[in-house]
């Protein structure tokens, strides 16, 4: 009788061991396949360069059906480019993204003369990006945005010099 009782326990015990030992494997495979792309990879998927966002984006939300997004930085961020363009990012950046266009943008501003104005739209036009502050805008070559600026010092933080940003000298109104 003990022999039959032992055989009845071996099958359920072996199934239980199989489940316990293989479940971490399934869990790790599941985590690898469900990891969402970074905010920078999402930008590239919509035909934008990664340098539109500063380093340090911690997370983001994106509704792919509407394009509504929010990107979360660790805090507010500001830096200068070319010594004349000062940019400021709030800790949360919102808007709508579609192929080659960021619209209804909130949380990014540029200092023009003595005023901070919000950048409300970014549009890719072949090899340039057009930035709109509402009634005016400016175009910049796409390759200016190949790397992400760093909060505090911008693009070239290693040697203390700011990297030059090429601009289109014409500022247009929309």
Percent of the chain with pLDDT over 70: 69
CA dihedral in degrees (84, 89, 90, 96; nearest 10)?
Answer: 130
What are the pLDDT digits (tens) for 49-94? 999 999 999 999 999 999 999 999 989 998 887 666 789 999 999 9
Rounded CA-CA distance 39/130 in Å is 20
23 burial (CB, 10 Å; 0-12 / 13-18 / 19+) is exposed
For residue 40, which of 73, 89, 75 has the smallest C-alpha distance?
73
18-22, 84-88, 163-167: range with lowest mean pLDDT = 18-22
Rounded CA-CA distance 100/92 in Å is 21
Is 132 in contact with 123 (CB distance < 8 Å)? yes
| C-alpha Rg value of the chain to the nearest Å | 25
- Dihedral sign for Cα 31, 65, 42, 47, please: positive
> What pTM did the predictor assign?
0.70
């Amino acid at each position: 009788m003990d022999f039959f009782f032992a055989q009845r326990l071996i099958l359920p015990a072996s199934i239980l061991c199989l489940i316990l030992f293989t479940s971490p494997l399934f869990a790790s495979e599941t985590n690898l396949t469900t990891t969402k792309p970074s905010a920078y990879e999402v930008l590239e998927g919509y035909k934008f360069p990664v340098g539109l966002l500063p380093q340090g984006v911690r997370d983001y939300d994106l509704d792919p059906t509407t394009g509504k997004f929010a990107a979360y930085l660790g805090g507010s961020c500001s830096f200068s480019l070319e010594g004349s363009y000062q940019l400021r990012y709030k800790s949360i950046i919102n808007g709508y993204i579609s192929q080659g266009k960021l619209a209804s943008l909130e949380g990014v501003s540029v200092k023009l003369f003595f005023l901070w104005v919000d950048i409300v739209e970014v549009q890719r036009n072949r090899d340039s990006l057009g930035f709109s502050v509402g009634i005016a805008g400016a175009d910049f070559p796409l390759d200016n945005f190949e790397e992400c600026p760093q909060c505090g010092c911008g693009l070239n933080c290693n040697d203390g010099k700011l990297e030059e940003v090429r601009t289109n000298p014409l500022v247009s109104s929309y």
